Amino acid sequence: GCGAHLKSLRRTACGHLTLDNAVTLDELERLVEKEKIPLLSLSSALGHLRGVTWQSGWLSRVRSGQQEILNQIGKPLAGERLVRILDPRGELVALSEWSEDIPGGLWRLARVFHS
């Protein structure tokens, strides 16, 4: 074979996040000084996952860890393993993960977020 080397490496995207959303280190330093750090919400950082919006009655059951309510999500879409469970304002309440532990599969709570 022939020798080669890497002169530079630049990440241009990570999932759905691209350089369009990025700030330089210099910009970040200026923003820190102004106490205006640009942070993504957890829901938007996970925006590549399908979101399921539920009303507060069901959300209280999710927040208390009741798994049976998750069957309302239905079967996963092709290649889907995680979905976001959102409140009516679009805020992230939980992540649910598809599991094939039983025949036919089921959704399980992966994480519950308290606001």
Q: What is the pLDDT of residues 18-29, one digit of tens each?
A: 888 788 899 989
* pLDDT number for residue 2: 81
* pLDDT number for residue 110: 95
Contact between residue 25 and residue 63 where contact means Cβ atoms under 8 Å apart: no
Ordered by where they begin, the domains of the chain are 41-112 (2.30.130.10)
* pLDDT number for residue 57: 85
Long-range contacts of 58-61 (CB under 8 A, 24+ apart): 59/85, 59/87, 59/93
Q: What is the pLDDT of residues 63-109, one digit of tens each?
A: 999 988 898 899 999 999 999 999 999 999 999 999 998 898 999 99
